[in-house]
Amino acid sequence: MIDRIFVTEAAESYSYVEEICDRAGLRPEIIQDDAAYRNDVERFLPDPVGQGKRHLLLDVFKGEFFRKCPGTKGKVCCNYYVIDQTTNCPFDCSYCFLQSYLNLRAIRFAVNIEDLFRELEIVFRKHRFIRLGTGELADSLALEPLTGFGRKLMEFAIEFPGVVLELKTKSASVDKLPDVRNKPGRGVIGWTMEPARVVSREERGTATLEERLAASSRAAGKGYGIAFHLDPVVFFPGFEDAYLDLVDQLFSRHEKLDWMSLAGFRYEPALKGFVEDRFPESELLDGEFLRCSDGKFRYLFPERIRFFRRLVKKVKKMSPKTPVYFCMEDARTWDLVMGRNALKDPVLTPIFSREGDNEKQGM
């Protein structure tokens, strides 16, 4: 998965570097900084996106690790916070926005995790309830066998009451994670779930659907909440039945999920070229798309509504207490699919409640 490990001069003295290199069985290549990687390595790669995914750049991050998920213009926000400790991912998914988003092609991994924990401790002590994760710019557990970072972060965060930490992944690397039963915080493992056809065609290097399902059962056994993200929902011939079957498979393993998110495949114009160049066999761009108000392309609204209604109906029937929400869809979609006032449904309180909501209600 990782061919080369680069270590910046700033990161060289961190013991975590040695730990990672030992696990990977690779000798670190010392470079001055990320600019040196760009100039001396990346620009000579014939496939920078693909090859960069096999390069791990261990660095020290001096900025803030923690931020609010920016969501997207005009769409309903799910009040999620993200930790940007790793950027980029060894998995190679055709639909991944990181292809057109990142300006450094290696996987950048910040080894100064003590700084991260210090920053998080301040945040956790301030908030009584916070839902956060590491899966925005990276897969939370893809590098777990090398870095063990998911375990370290979970062990730290789970001790804070009111913290809900989600590790979002397409891997099956859950076995080294700590047991979180009877802990003050809540650990959640979230999997992106796709029908087997999408996994095999669009998600290179990831765990199979079966492996993810099996891993979810093992994680549940350790006390983790389980979340599934049907994101992106990809339209292909027979997709409706494939996703409805998938829902059957998910709920045959878990009676209730901590949450489930849904989102149709959407893309920024810049992503299209990457999909066409790097994934000639992909079915991703075969559907009918229209450019929406936020500049992204989405499947036709009527088609999305029609299918989401079927999907949500099925989920609600199989697991009425599972909170289902849309990622990056607007209020009209919510209204049309979930019904008016869906956002006030108490089932969704754990997802959408914000710090201070209780005080407002009491006033």
Which residues of the shown chain bind other proteins in the complex (CB under 8 A)? 42-48, 273, 276-277, 285-286, 288, 290-293, 298, 300-303, 305-306, 309, 330, 332, 335-336
Cα separation, 100 vs 247, in Å, equals 30
41 and 105 Cβ atoms separated by less than 8 Å: no
30/331 with CB nearer other proteins: 331
212/266 with CB nearer other proteins: 266
- What minimum distance in Å lies between the beta carbon of 347 and other proteins? 22
- What minimum distance in Å lies between the beta carbon of 286 and other proteins? 5
- What minimum distance in Å lies between the beta carbon of 250 and other proteins? 25
Q: Retrieve residue 241's tokens.
A: 């039945």
Which residue, 317, 321, 337, is CA-closest to 329? 337
Helix, strand, or coil here: 13?
A: coil
Buried (b) or exposed (e) across 99-109, using 16+ Cβ within 10 A? bbebebbbbbb
- What minimum distance in Å lies between the beta carbon of 304 and other proteins? 9
48/71 with CB nearer other proteins: 48
Full DSSP string of 297-348: EEE-HHHHHHHHHHHHHHHHHH-TTS-EEESS--HHHHHHHH-TTGGG-GGG
- What minimum distance in Å lies between the beta carbon of 357 and other proteins? 28
160/235 with CB nearer other proteins: 235
- What minimum distance in Å lies between the beta carbon of 46 and other proteins? 5
243/307 with CB nearer other proteins: 307
Full DSSP string of 29-86: EEES-HHHHHHHTGGG-SSHHHHHTTEEEEE---S--EEE----TTS-----EEE-SE
- What minimum distance in Å lies between the beta carbon of 263 and other proteins? 14
Residues paired with 32 in a beta bridge:
none
Which residue, 335, 327, 256, 263, is CA-closest to 79? 327
Q: Retrieve residue 179's tokens.
A: 């047991």
119/303 with CB nearer other proteins: 303
DSSP one-letter code for 2 = -
210/277 with CB nearer other proteins: 277
